[in-house]
Amino acid sequence: MNTNAKHTYTLSELASALGAGLIGDGERRVSGLATLTDAGPDDIAFLANRAYLKYLGTTRAAAVLLHPSYAEHCSMHVLTLENPYLGYAHLSHFFDLSPVGSVPGIDATAVVDESVSIGERVSIGPGAVIGANVTLGDDVIIGPGCSVGPDCEIGARSLLHANVTLYYGVVIGKRAIIHSGAVIGGDGFGFAHDGSQWHKIAQIGGVVIGDDVEVGSCTSIDRGALGDTVIGNDVKIDSQVQIAHNVHIGDHSALAGCVGIAGSTHVGRQCLLGGGVGLAGHLEICDGVQVTGMSLVTNSIEVPGVYSSGTGSMPNKLWRKNAVRYKQLDDMAKRLTRLEKLGRGDKNDAQGE
């Protein structure tokens, strides 16, 4: 049970806000949100995965949000939705108590250049540094210790948590959330070699981030070498992701933790990249592609669908045997070709293979 909850809601209030059906007492109040197994008598729980149906009979929750087809299995108050997981996402905000330091004003320890354009109700936290010619839209929140370089633009209602760094000329759209430690607009990895040493290539592009984007903690998005690195609208990026120079990511895509995307690769709309996925440089990934975790993509993908590479875990002894066999695959393929030719009676070609 969430004993720290500051607000309680009636089930009728929650059902109305979610557009959900209600079975039971609409005046019953709840003060927390929890899983079926952890819920207490004043919590609302949710069921979005059939695997957890077995816990409906033992949950202590006051009410459960679930699909209408499961309502008959539930003896307590019920909220019904066709997509209960989406309902849970909306419901979570009713019980979110995280402070975001949104009191408007500029902390006395912040350093704000006199040329900065500041919208209405902007909050700039302790120790933040805002460079020249920056534009901050209405209701923007800049957390403690953030560094916003010259000529950046941050759209209305965007939030930078503590210690976010924006290099110069970064453009961020409306309602973005950037988590602590993220670095946006740093130099891309560009060097030329003369045979004996490396020579740095100036990265003179920028970074443009659309509306409703979320960037996880300690993620790096490099500026473009010539053109911009572009993150589309409603893109969700997890923590510790590396996005190299001139990468483009289409609207509504999502990248899980530790994804790495090399330079100049374009990822389409509605793409999903699992944890640890690596994309080589200069690739084109079409719309509607899902790449499962820890996969390495070295060629462009032109057909929507689910793609995987690598092998799943197995006992080490079996893995070592298979690793040896991987090295033998080319030889085995040649032997199979010879056998196929012999089977067709093409003995001369088979002998000359």
Q: Mean of the per-residue pLDDT values for the chain? A: 94
Which band of pLDDT confidence, cut at 50, 70 and 90, is reported for residue 3?
A: very low
CB atoms within 10 A of CB 117: 11
The DSSP letter of residue 83 is S
CATH of domain 106-307: 2.160.10.10
pLDDT of residue 101: 54
Residue 45 has pLDDT above 80, yes or no: yes
Which band of pLDDT confidence, cut at 50, 70 and 90, is reported for residue 2?
A: very low
What does the pLDDT average to over 333-339? 91
What is the per-residue pLDDT across 73-94, written as a single tens digit (0 to 9) for each? 888 999 999 999 999 999 999 9
Residue 345 has pLDDT above 90, yes or no: no
pLDDT of residue 347: 54
* Annotation: CATH topology of 9-95: 3.40.1390
Give the start-to-end residue ranges of the domains of the chain: 9-95, 106-307, 317-351
pLDDT of residue 4: 46
Helical spans, DSSP H, in the chain: 11-18, 84-92, 316-327, 329-343, 347-351
Burial of 308 (0-12, 13-18, 19+ CB in 10 A): middle
Spatial separation of the C-alpha atoms in residues 168 and 202, rounded to whole Å:
14
Amino acid, res. 283:
L
Among 77, 161, 179, 245, the one annotated catalytic: 245
Spatial separation of the C-alpha atoms in residues 239 and 189, rounded to whole Å:
20
Q: Are 146 and 129 in contact (CB under 8 A)?
A: yes
Residue 237 has pLDDT above 70, yes or no: yes
pLDDT of residue 136: 98
Q: What percentage of residues in the chain have a pLDDT greater than 90?
A: 87
pLDDT of residue 351: 53
Q: Are 243 and 225 in contact (CB under 8 A)?
A: no
More confident residue, 102 or 67: 67
What does the pLDDT average to over 312-337? 91
245 an active-site residue?
yes
Residue 1 has pLDDT above 50, yes or no: no
pLDDT of residue 99: 67
Q: Are strands 153-154 and 159-160 parallel, antiparallel or unpaired?
A: unpaired
Spatial separation of the C-alpha atoms in residues 268 and 288, rounded to whole Å:
7
pLDDT of residue 236: 98
What is the per-residue pLDDT across 115-132, written as a single tens digit (0 to 9) for each? 999 999 999 999 999 999
pTM value? 0.88
What are all long-range contacts of 44-52, with beta carbons under 8 Å and residues at least 24 apart? 44/11, 44/14, 44/79, 44/91, 46/84, 46/85, 46/87, 46/88, 46/91, 47/84, 48/84, 48/85, 48/88
pLDDT of residue 138: 97
Residue 337 has pLDDT above 60, yes or no: yes
What is the per-residue pLDDT across 166-189, written as a single tens digit (0 to 9) for each? 999 999 999 999 999 999 999 999
The DSSP line for 26-71 is TT-EE-EE--TTT--TTEEEE--SGGGGGGTTT---SEEEE-GGGG
